[in-house]
Structure 1
Amino acid sequence: MTNNDSAAGEPLRSSAVLGGNFWRLCASTGLSNIADGVVKVGFPLIAVAYTRSPVLIAGMTVAFYLPWLLFALPSGMLVDRLDRRRAMVAANTVRACLLALLAVTAVTDVGSVWLLYGVAFAAGAAETVYDLSAQSIVPKVVAKDRLPRANGRLYAVELSANEFVGPPLAGLLVAAGAVAAFAAPAAMWLAAVGVLLLVRGAFRPERETGRRTSIRADIAEGLRFLWRQKVLRTFTAMVAVFNFATTATSAVFVLHAVGEASAMRLPEVVFGLLLATTAAGSVAGSLVAPGLVALLGRTRALVVSFATGTLLVGAPALTTEPLLVGIGFFLGGAGIITSNIIMVSFRQRVVPDRLLGRVGSAHRFITYGTQPLGAAAGGLLGQLIGLRAVFAVMALLALSVLIGVVVVDNDALDSAERQADQT
């Protein structure tokens, strides 16, 4: 099946038209990611009421991202076998039920940091299915030459919801009480399910007729494709290192920023607003990314984006002034969204539809798999050498990913896309 018509049976009258299915998908993405943002900021804020240990607080981030290390590959296999829209519906329904359970425990006053760990891990497992399905469904909703535009719109919605709306909302909800902090994201995930059900059609990828394969063979096929494609392999290594560094710092940033005992001495609500500056930068970056790529070319745009993205890691090492840190986060968010749009659009162009879930899962198995390791490293280093030193060390590590740009020049990107079109 080509990308000239959507799998939902909604004709794409022009490559410039993203279509009603795309905008319904976009609305569902927004609702789902507001819930994500509330949960991932709200859980550490609630956990601070139970403990001030850097290791235990960082462990909350480990619990969210460890499922990518454990379940990314089998989840990718499922995404390439199931209807991707239905998989997204099931994943969000599970996450809503988990948060509803936490709301009940908050009402009955039986909550604990260990219960937060368990729900964070289970919600993270469901997220592996949702995110892989959401990224794999896009090439079936819009024409191939509109993928950068569609991904830019989706990233703008996703990041503004996840990091611009979600964090300050999390601060307000936690201030209102744990019940509100748990019930609100549960309701938003269910609302996202309702909108997703309006996306018309079936989105099960085509498989080779008469060919039956094992789970192990399916997973291995995705891993082989990623490993043999030089550009994809390099992108994966770059993102894995960068994610390790950013997660190491984000896992302990709440201790550096929130409370009278912290370096920045911020209240919860202001902390959420500070985190939202990253999303504001991401939205701005999604708007300027096409122009930046047209001006500089993809390789130079990647250099600029990763270099400015390092401010997400290093800004707190340079200053404790919230305004300056916020400016650094804004610029860092703008840089990282540009690299994401370039890399994801490239992957969607060169990977066959039947393999998108598995190649995406292989990529995230590695890149997200480094996040729990980074969170654990951030907690341990914060305990040993102090929080501010963690930001400095990880900024240097984040800058090291620019070595990979030597491999992924514009000629390599163009050649890989031409070869994919021919096959």
Structure 2
Amino acid sequence: MRALKSARLGADFSKLWTASAVSNVGDGITMVAGPLLVASLTSEPALVAGAAFTQQLPWLIIALISGVYVDRLDRRRLVVVVNVLRGLALAVLAVAVATSTASVPLIYLVFFLLGAGETVADTAFSAMVPATVAPGQLTSANSRMVATSILGNQILAKPLGGWLFAVGAALPFAADALTFLVAAALTSAVRITPAKPPAGGSVREDVAAGIRWLWRHRLLRTLAVSMGVANVAFCAAFAIFALYARQRLGLTEVGYGMLLTTFGVGGLAGSFLAPRLGKRFGARALLRGGLIVEIITHAVLAATTEPLVAAAILIVFGVHSVNWGIIVATQFQTAVPDELRGRVGSVYALTQVSGAAAGSLLGGLIAQAASINTPFWVAAAAMTVVAVAAWRPLRAA
């Protein structure tokens, strides 16, 4: 049934969709196995946490440059080359682990390369989707992309990554290397017309053109700024979520893990509901309603001490966050000219990552200065301001 539905969107989209599904499983495997590998080499918490930060760091320092080259070069070939290189980097790590020569610096280097490749491949991949489906099919296409991402990355890959690491520490990295090569092969078979490269100019001029275009588009600027601030609020609150779950909700480690799965449950439901909700309510109502959901979610989590209440609101939040993401992706893919999608997309991504990084730093400071639930109250207040400021500009959605 799933294959038949995909066929309606065309063979080229099916290849992109499958490539995305395969690589998402691989990403999820490494996301679990990476910290386990570092923890097997060192007991320093900072070094273990540093592995995840190393992979996120490229988004902060080269995302805008990556967007320029996504617009300058053939996107399909770019994704293929980057995925092959990421597969080779992971193969080197797998060999090092298998021969007991892996070290923390090597892991950091490989993870930095994976993150750098991600800034290119993810930006190019998103820009390719509109070339494989009709404009009216973008919501369905993005919904299916998100569904496979949640199912593969958040649900299937996590236990698989842990199991592979237990069987043999090198296996998860070898498996992820293979998924990159498979994704590269699938992407190479996609037939799309290359985007027209920008007129000759410096990298700085091309970056500036992307920033200017986004800033001048009122709706997309509103979406970018709103979600940048929302990420500050969300990550400030959820940076201390493990402590919140234990101290405020009285959950054990197992209960905390089960609570986290509610994000995936809500997100998966949201990915399937997105096309129907879009037809029933429209983008404007869903975007405005999503801001209300953000406020309510943070306020409920700040006020409650009941795990079931927290789980219920997190499921609702999961539905909202996926719907918001699908709507935003569709709005960007529809409004941004093809030759600018890489640069504008990278600017948007940078606002999100910067917001998340800032929020993660602020959350611990706020909780330490006040109480464990204060970051949630602060997040609710911040999202109230965002909702008021964004309400009128969202009319254009």
Per the TM superposition, whether the score is higher than 0.5 is: yes
Match 1:351 to one of 332, 336, 341 = 336
Report the residue type matching 2:9 in the other structure.
L
Residue pairs, 1:255-404, within 5 angstroms: 264-266=252-254, 271=257, 275-308=260-293, 311=297, 327-377=312-362, 384=368, 389=372, 392-394=374-376, 396-397=378-379, 400-404=382-386
Establish whether residue 206 from structure 1 lines up as the match of residue 196 from structure 2: yes
Per the TM alignment, residue 72 of structure 1 is displaced from its structure 2 partner at its CA by 0.8
Per the TM alignment, residue 235 of structure 1 is displaced from its structure 2 partner at its CA by 1.1
Match 1:63 to one of 46, 49, 54 = 54
1:50 to 1:207, Cα distance in 2 relative to 1, 3 A: closer
1:70 to 1:294, Cα distance in 2 relative to 1, 3 A: same
**Residue 307 of structure 1 contacts residue 335 of structure 1 at CA under 8 Å; is this kept in 2?**
no
1:160 to 1:69, Cα distance in 2 relative to 1, 3 A: same
Structure 2, unmatched stretches of 5+, are 1-6
Three-state SS of the structure 2 residue aligned to 1:196 is: helix
Residue 224 of structure 2 corresponds to: 236
Identify the structure with the greater helix proportion.
Answer: 2
- State how far apart, in whole Å, the 2-side matches of 1:199 and 1:312 are: 42
1:313 to 1:159, Cα distance in 2 relative to 1, 3 A: farther
Per the TM alignment, residue 102 of structure 1 is displaced from its structure 2 partner at its CA by 1.8
Establish whether residue 122 from structure 1 lines up as the match of residue 110 from structure 2: no
Report the residue type matching 1:141 in the other structure.
T
Per the TM alignment, residue 222 of structure 1 is displaced from its structure 2 partner at its CA by 0.3
CA deviations over 1:28-48 (Å, ceiling 9, x no partner): 010111112222233234434
**Residue 282 of structure 1 contacts residue 334 of structure 1 at CA under 8 Å; is this kept in 2?**
yes
Match 2:155 to one of 145, 160, 164 = 164
- State how far apart, in whole Å, the 2-side matches of 1:225 and 1:351 are: 9
Return 64-73 or 91-100, whichever deviates more: 91-100
1:166 to 1:395, Cα distance in 2 relative to 1, 3 A: farther
Three-state SS of the structure 1 residue aligned to 2:170 is: helix
Report the residue type matching 2:55 in the other structure.
F
- State how far apart, in whole Å, the 1-side matches of 2:162 and 2:298 are: 20
CA deviations over 1:102-154 (Å, ceiling 9, x no partner): 21222232334443333222211100001100110111111112211211121
**Residue 218 of structure 2 contacts residue 393 of structure 2 at CA under 8 Å; is this kept in 1?**
no
Match 1:40 to one of 31, 51, 60 = 31
- State how far apart, in whole Å, the 1-side matches of 2:123 and 2:191 are: 19
Residue 215 of structure 1 corresponds to: 203
The total of aligned residue pairs comes to 387
Three-state SS of the structure 2 residue aligned to 1:218 is: helix
- State how far apart, in whole Å, the 2-side matches of 1:392 and 1:119 are: 37
Three-state SS of the structure 1 residue aligned to 2:9 is: coil
Three-state SS of the structure 2 residue aligned to 1:80 is: helix
CA deviations over 1:291-345 (Å, ceiling 9, x no partner): 3334444333224434546759986995695x77655543332110111111111
**Residue 231 of structure 1 contacts residue 407 of structure 1 at CA under 8 Å; is this kept in 2?**
no
Establish whether residue 19 from structure 1 lines up as the match of residue 7 from structure 2: no
1:401 to 1:58, Cα distance in 2 relative to 1, 3 A: farther
- State how far apart, in whole Å, the 2-side matches of 1:31 and 1:213 are: 36
- State how far apart, in whole Å, the 2-side matches of 1:380 and 1:55 are: 17
Residue pairs, 1:151-190, within 5 angstroms: 151-190=142-181
**Residue 251 of structure 1 contacts residue 379 of structure 1 at CA under 8 Å; is this kept in 2?**
yes
- State how far apart, in whole Å, the 1-side matches of 2:86 and 2:375 are: 35
- State how far apart, in whole Å, the 2-side matches of 1:180 and 1:398 are: 43
Report the residue type matching 2:207 in the other structure.
I
Per the TM alignment, residue 56 of structure 1 is displaced from its structure 2 partner at its CA by 4.2
Per the TM alignment, residue 86 of structure 1 is displaced from its structure 2 partner at its CA by 1.2
1:254 to 1:195, Cα distance in 2 relative to 1, 3 A: farther
Residue 68 of structure 2 corresponds to: 77
Q: State TM-score, norm by structure 1.
A: 0.79
Report the residue type matching 1:136 in the other structure.
A
Residue 4 of structure 2 corresponds to: none
1:54 to 1:392, Cα distance in 2 relative to 1, 3 A: farther
**Residue 301 of structure 2 contacts residue 376 of structure 2 at CA under 8 Å; is this kept in 1?**
no
Structure 1, unmatched stretches of 5+, are 1-15, 418-423
**Residue 34 of structure 1 contacts residue 162 of structure 1 at CA under 8 Å; is this kept in 2?**
yes
Report the residue type matching 1:226 in the other structure.
L
Q: State TM-score, norm by structure 2.
A: 0.83
